[in-house]
Structure 1
């Protein structure tokens, strides 16, 4: 399937014949793998990023003790991995995740995937952006006024979210909930709590999708047998650049504007940016790319 080869049209098998590289670990890739297969694509895995527990467990414990005691007005959950980290801490205390969060605390998140996971865990989501599903999008809809906010996040999280909320009058307490590392993580430190979701997915295997090494993925790319690669974060874009660049005819699909911006800064052409950070949003972005190329050919 060359760059301008036809991909079958139609909603159900729109990506027939496309080989799509997913840069997630097997236990986090299942929903996207299933969506790609339903659309007719062949998903392959190149795990580049993994997650470990926060090095500073004391600070995280103190913040969660304060949360449970009602010291915060808001809890902001910026990723599914944050949910995983919090669920692991709840399990250590022999409680469910929802028991960490008092009814008085409002919960905000960024995207529909995080919202669905939280709701599947029995947690009410009070605020989430509908248009721009990103840190900047949440800042846009954040109410003005003095409130106290707990923001557990990755060690490499940018300042956009915390600074934006603070600019609207909030006092934000950030705490590192997990660390982003090269795959695979140290087995003794790896964040591995299983998550519920509305469609029943939990941590597990990605439905048997082949897992490639960076060298094998590079060989597939060089032979023209990879048609797209999906990056879910700026750190994934950086790792894709380091492991695979130049991408030749392989289309780079970004999840989120920050990922697209990082790819562009690295010199990776961005074929499309998913409008929603969900499997359906990613498949839609791929459909748009291939449909456009089909029309040009």
Structure 2
């Protein structure tokens, strides 16, 4: 099945779903929607650049390679891309930057799959609540995962590379355990498109398949919304939620689907309704959320209307 020839019996047959991602980051999600019968459309709203100050991250990675951290916490797939780019500039790979004795934690199965494809062993990743809160719940207050050794919890030193817009939830939660957390900006989240000279371009082994879906301009997307031609808009992150609020109008005739609770909370804080939240930040989880939103919305069926 292709995007141009969806199955008529699929749950999203005849539905047009707007993904607020750039083509180079939307492939798997767009393909999953197409397999469910939808026509995926793209509206790039946010992009990512290297950190404006490169030295703090470079120095932190020097300490990482020297074995000075008990844990490396990777909070997003974009962080993996940023670290891989810096590693390549150093003439090495991401896996070679992380010593054998340093444990790796991440947010969930998707980022775990990306890290393992890059050659890293992941020691901790929540399966259920895939967020900073979910990761903190897995880290019991009385247990450091053995990383501190005989020196006790105070010896745990954690490197936390992240976005310049990252919420303090994870850093503060780890510090409450008495551990030494070193947050460092790995990349900037910017409005699309990023500066070509600063844009993150490192290719990941998995998880960043490109998409051939139609790309809309903000003007085109708003025209589609005004005509009621979009069944759902998918917000992939809190940053994307803010840009949706700033860019798209009217939103009252379409359904908003959030990827993850932080994104859903941001949409609600902006005064926007959330029709469904993807339980898993995977392509299949997003399809399930879109179908769920259409099923629960009065007067809207997930199956294509027939004469």
TM-score normalised by L of structure 1: 0.92
Q: Choose the corresponding residue for 2:106, options 103, 106, 109.
A: 109
Which residue does the alignment assign to 2:241?
237
How has the CA–CA distance of structure 1 residues 261 and 9 changed in structure 2, closer, same or farther, with 3 Å as cutoff? Answer: farther
How far apart, in 1, do the equivalents of 2:159 and 2:51 lie? 16
Unaligned runs of 5+ in 2: 1-6, 142-152, 302-307
Report the secondary structure of 2:26's partner residue: helix
Report which stretch shifted further, 137-146 or 221-230.
137-146
Displacement after TM superposition at 1:246 (Å): 3.2
Which residue does the alignment assign to 1:248?
252
Which residue does the alignment assign to 2:268?
264
How far apart, in 1, do the equivalents of 2:35 and 2:287 lie? 10
How far apart, in 2, do the equivalents of 1:67 and 1:279 lie? 32
Displacement after TM superposition at 1:9 (Å): 9.5
Q: How does 1:53-202 map to 2 (within 5 A)?
A: 53-144=50-141, 145-146=153-154, 147-197=156-206, 202=208
Cα-Cα RMSD: 1.6
Displacement after TM superposition at 1:110 (Å): 0.3
Report the secondary structure of 2:178's partner residue: coil
Residue deviations 1:225-283 (CA, integer Å, cap 9, x gap): 01101111111111001111330221100011111111111111100011011111111
How far apart, in 1, do the equivalents of 2:294 and 2:233 lie? 13
Which residue does the alignment assign to 2:147?
none
Which residue does the alignment assign to 2:217?
213
Displacement after TM superposition at 1:202 (Å): 4.3
Which residue does the alignment assign to 2:149?
none
The runs of at least 4 aligned residues of structure 1 exceeding 2 Å deviation read: 143-146, 291-297
Contact 2:225-2:249 at 8 Å conserved across structures: no
Which residue does the alignment assign to 2:283?
279
Displacement after TM superposition at 1:77 (Å): 0.2
How far apart, in 2, do the equivalents of 1:295 and 1:228 lie? 14
Residue deviations 1:123-151 (CA, integer Å, cap 9, x gap): 11100112110011111111433311000
How far apart, in 2, do the equivalents of 1:295 and 1:215 lie? 28
Residue deviations 1:146-168 (CA, integer Å, cap 9, x gap): 31100000001010010011112
Contact 2:222-2:250 at 8 Å conserved across structures: no
Report the secondary structure of 1:280's partner residue: helix
